[in-house]
Amino acid sequence: MKFPSDSDSTGPEPGRDSAGRTESDKTAQGVATGQPRDADVGGADAETGGADTGTGRAEAGPTHSARRLRIDADSPFAEAAQVFAASDQAQLSALDVSAELFFNETVENLRLYNPHPGQPYAHATIAETVRRYHRERRSSTAAKRKKRKSKLPSFPRFRLDQTFYGWVHELSQAEDIAEFTTVLGATTARAYVQITSAMTLVHGLPKFFARCVAGEFTIEHVHATAHACRDVKFENLPLVDDYLAQRRADITIETFKKSLGMKIAVLEPLEERVEEASKRRRVDITTTPDGTAYLTLAGPAPELQACYLRIAAFARAIRSGNIAAFSDQLEPGTAIDDDRGIDALMFDILTRTIPQLSIQVTSTDTTTGVTSTRDIPLNVPAEQTMTPAAVVNAVQEGVIGARVGSAGVGGTDTDEDASEPEVVLTMPTHEQWLDSQAKMITTVPFLTLTGSAELSGTFSDGSPIPAETARRVARHAKSWTRILTDPATGTPVDAKAATYQIPENVRQTLIAKWQACTIPGCTRRAETTEIDHVVPFDHDHPADGGLTRFGNLHPLCKMHHQAKTDRKYSVRMNRAGFVQYVFRHGLSAEVAAGDHPINAAHAKVFEELQRQAGPTSDPPKSTTRPAGERWHGDKQTSEECPGPAAADGQAGWVKNTPMLGGRSTENENEWIWDSGGPPPF
């Protein structure tokens, strides 16, 4: 695999084939395509630069250093891991072949001149072409001609604002795609995905692709990266590649995807990407032979986030029996008695023509206290506008119909009482309910908030949002939480708490740090999870351990929290920012909080603004003072005021009191000199 070089020499370059490789690269890749490298977990951490505190272990078996995963040799997962690795390598080879085939067809269709017939078309890499473009733009015309003669041709049909999604669709031929679909046995759309992913990875992200071939990332990371970068401009692809070449290979795919999305948001104006996503907004449906179907909505994230939160809030209100928001739709004494889960409720809400839901209820007479249930079907078309009188008539007809139905089948009063009635509720849309139920947690960089930068904000799940949208959301926020972050990685670093109950500022910081349930594979949002004490809190002796502090807390969803409590697996936090899971089949994994490229970029912008501001113009304070001159804060003991008394804006002596001194003074005759100036803050 050919890495983009740091320099772009004007001398002759070795020829590259359609995958951008020299003959020596092919030899090197032949070694790299073997099994994942064996390395002990005690290796250096590439992102933080610090050595792993874990000690080397003697047990044999495959290790996965970059992903911080270890499997014991006698674990049933040991052999499976080798099979999965081989499968990944096969799929990577398929991507490599796909890129080579399509590139060769493109070169032939464009009728590009090849000075060495019979050999692969030699060309400059994307990174080399970008550097060359910027350098030649600043050079003279004569220098451009000279360099053009001594260099390989640029990447075919290169434009700074081109993307591989556009490049593939622009240069593809219908007959070539038909051949791909025939061999793949896939649809035309799937063939385009395969080709776009292959070109993006092999030509746009060669450093990252080499790490994947070396076994540092799984095929899931590969697919996620290809999808995220298909619309990244050629100009920015080398920067994304440099980031991925150094990034820690997290075991959690969600953490990886969110950090990559933030990095792309830093490099490219998110407003443009949201606008492009808006142009492509669509609704797709895919049916399966078993009778189920998948409905996919694609479009700008802010709108879909808001839609999801509204539906989830409606479902949670039903699930928790919170009828306060529906008091105008339910009779007094009615309680929600519905056993559907959140996911089922959200599905039933979304599939109605309007946001309403038929739920099971139990009715209690508020006068007699008698509880009764009746099956009251409301056969009212969703699109029909009903007056209050019509609704009452529909309910009465439903009651009569339910009674007649029970009598017709030999039912009794007991049978009628045991039936499960249904009432249709419509989602509240007034602002007060939405504010209290569909809370949206948004993190906004300080300089973006003040208008000094245009860095993107992020939702609680890590997805970026345009700066202007983030400012608009922040203007309507009911509460603010300051979050301190590591300037290098952007990861939240600390928050304070001293009791078992988690303070809101600590909870918000944990949400911003982890973004989701920490167990590998779980995608439950952090704001809907529980906060777990890694070392259990000792209620009888709080000082003995399990303190509520940042280094002992992480989010776990209710299911995985209960499994941890039941000792189905163990959780440790041997060092800050890393949670280690030890499972019962000899498998252990260390999960790290993701980096936050937006926050890291914010720290750099902040530092640059400070550098531009330069030193302050205030003269340095003298460390010496003339004899007899008093400074603010000087003290003197005296029964009487030792001199002029302080007044508004005038220097003088003032009696030292607990309010001024911050504590009780042992000497009640102590006086303090007040310079009369404004407070130093």
User: DSSP letter string over 175-227?
Assistant: HHHHHHHHHHT--HHHHHHHHHHHHIIIII-HHHHHHHHTTSS-HHHHHHHHH
Report the C-alpha gap between 241 and 262 in whole angstroms.
14
pLDDT score recorded for residue 23: 40
Q: Which residues pair with 280 in a beta bridge?
A: none
Place of tokens 């795919």: 253
Which class for 197: exposed (0-12), middle (13-18), buried (19 or more C-beta within 10 A)? Answer: buried
Please spell the DSSP secondary structure of 319-364, one letter per residue. HTT--GGGTTTS-TTEEE-----HHHHHHHHHTSSSSEEEEEEEEE
Nearest to 401 by CA among 384, 388, 385, 416: 416
- Cross-sheet strand order for the sheet of 635-637: 635-637, 670-674, 652-655
Burial class (CB in 10 A: 0-12, 13-18, 19+), 482: exposed
- The pLDDT assigned to 615 comes to 64
pLDDT at 195: 96
The helix (run of H) or strand (run of E) holding residue 463 is none
For residue 331, what pLDDT is reported?
A: 72
Strand partners, 371: 364
3-class SS of residue 51:
strand
Q: Which residues pair with residue 63 across a beta bridge?
A: 70
* pLDDT number for residue 4: 34
**In the beta sheet, which residues pair with residue 531?**
555
pLDDT at residue 544, rounded to an integer? 63
Reduce the DSSP state of residue 436 to 3 states and report it: helix
So what's the pLDDT on residue 663? 44
pTM of model > 0.75: no
pLDDT at 619: 53
- The CA-to-CA distance between both ends of the chain, in Å, stands at 58
**Tokens 């979050």 found at:** 483
Low-confidence ranges of the chain (pLDDT < 70): 1-67, 140-150, 251, 323, 325, 327-328, 333, 353-425, 427-440, 495-500, 538-546, 615-628, 648-649, 657-668, 677-681
Within 8 A by CB and 6+ apart from 543, the residues are: none
Instruction: Tell me what pLDDT residue 13 has.
Output: 37
Report how far residue 172's alpha carbon sits from residue 176's, in angstroms, rounded to the nearest whole number. 7
Residue in this structure with the two tokens 């690269």, named with its chain if needed: 25
d(CA 204, CA 105): 18
pLDDT digits (tens, 9 = 90+) for 578-591: 899 999 888 888 88
Could you give the angle at which helices 206-213 and 237-246 cross, rounded to 10 degrees? Answer: 30
